[in-house]
Chain A
Amino acid sequence: MTVDELDPLIHTPARLRIVATLAALPEGDTVSFTRLQDLIGLTPGNLITHLRKLEEAGYVETQKTARTSVSLTARGRAALADYRAALLELLG
């Protein structure tokens, strides 16, 4: 296992924080875009960019009703679990 084998979609500071924050919610819960932005501390533009990448990979999904909400998909949770396991393996 090498660093290059870590999931590149998660292995950046911003996306790692997004995915870890969404994973802290109970399964089935969503968080509004504005609350997520407050928690992560990114500009709206940067957050949108990172969320779009994660959404394209099927790691997050968004719902837009009166407000836009974001949640981690089952695939996203599995990817984070794999990423965490890979990190532990790398760190021995």
Chain B
Amino acid sequence: MSFDTFGTPPVTEREEPAELDPRSAAQLLDETTRQAQRQFDPRPPFLTLVAAFVVLIAYGSVWLSVRHQHPYAGPTHTALAVLYGTLAAWVVLVIVVLGRAGSGIGGRAARERRISGIAFTAVWIAVYVFQGALHHEGVSDAIQYGIYPAAAPIIIVGGAAATWEAAREHWQYVAVSIAAIAIACAGAFTGPATVWLVIGIGLSTIVAAYALIRFALRAA
């Protein structure tokens, strides 16, 4: 195709002077590459760092509401409001960042990202549908409002994420996903109240550490 079909007025070719010495060229190449990678990155480090705070606030609010419960009855309405409010704000932020990074981008990888979005949404929904089944069967409050909602989303969605990232050889994400699963599994043994604290602190630490590593790698 010809670019003239844009309807753009004909232009006189303006060739830039070939004054680019090798050092300047290397610097320009490096700077442009970094800038483009940042612009196209759907998972920038700041978003990862925000995720660490989201986990800490969401899990922390629930733990504060259940830590003295004997017997365990589940999070208060206020704690649940903080949990889901924080998660909702996080989802909105992710959508905004993804929209900016993916603006004008098409092709195979972009299609894969859209498909993965659908698949992960289905997995999240399945996690909570299963919780409904536990409730339907009259499973104890400690399981259906404690251990399961704290640990299962991390284990199930983390497992799906690890598999997805492994298929694409994104080893850093695989490592973070597996570490998250390990924290959730360990937390599940600590009981319906403490599980929120263990996963909240453990997961937010892992995610924050990964964000800092990515910040450092960018600055290097």
Interface residues of A (CB under 8 A from B): 3, 6, 8, 11-14, 16-17, 20-21, 23-36, 39, 43-46, 48-49, 51-52, 62-64, 68-69, 71, 83-84, 87-88, 90-91
Contacts and interface: CB of A to CB of B under 8 A. Distances in A.
A11 B23 CA distance: 12
B8 A91 contact: no
Given A24-B40, A26-B109, A49-B13, A34 B1 contact: no
Contacts of B11: 43, 45-46, 48-49
Size bracket, chain B contacts: 35 or more
Given A11-B18, A49-B14, A84-B29, 8 more contacts: A16-B20, A24-B36, A26-B108, A30-B107, A39-B39, A46-B11, A48-B8, A52-B3
B139 to A, nearest CB: 44
Contact of B3 (A23, A51, A83): A51
B8 A29 contact: no
Interface of B: 1-6, 8-11, 13-16, 18, 20-23, 25-26, 28-29, 32-33, 35-37, 39-40, 103-110
A29 B106 CA distance: 6
B103 to A, nearest CB: 6
